[in-house]
Amino acid sequence: MRKLCAYFTPCCALATCNVPLIFYTNVLGMKLLRTSENPEYKYSLAFVGYGPETDEAVIELTYNWGVDSYELGTAYGHIALEVDNAAEACERIRSNGGNVTREAGPVKGGTTVIAFVEDPDGYKIELIEAKDAGRGLGN
């Protein structure tokens, strides 16, 4: 995995703190950049990414203490990651216990190679092959 194809901080609400954090660091290869605890409001934050926050996009993972589950809702789409080879990335993710929900292949109506995986809480993550990432999904 190389970089996030987004320039925002998506916030994924987590039902448990450790399982998703392990997924983003061990399975996707991101680094834990920093953490924050807020005892007064009972939540913890973990920021993960492939490089420093000054240079790369970051994902904010939020754990609300005592919350056992969330509904994903319809407002969340997905996170997109640029990868060198989508099929190889799927195999790495699968071999590390990740869930591949769409195998690598061209997007419908185009040639851009994509795949989809899910994190342990069900959030979708799109993998886009690097050579195709800048062309747009419709090409």
DSSP one-letter string for 77-136: --EEEEES-HHHHHHHHHHTT-EEEEEEEEPTTS--EEEEEE-TT--EEEEEEHHHHTT-
In tens, the pLDDT along 78-89 reads 889 999 999 999
138: number of Cβ within 10 Å: 10
> Is position 37 annotated in a ligand binding site?
no
> Is position 78 annotated in a ligand binding site?
yes
- Positions annotated as catalytic residues are 126
Q: What is the pTM of this model?
A: 0.72
- The mean pLDDT value of the chain amounts to 82
C-alpha distances out from residue 108 to 29, 51, 77, 80, Å: 28, 32, 18, 17
In tens, the pLDDT along 38-84 reads 889 988 888 899 998 888 888 888 888 888 777 777 667 788 999 99
d(CA 9, CA 108): 28
What domains can be seen in the chain, in order of their start residue?
Answer: 6-69 (3.10.180.10), 77-139 (3.10.180.10)
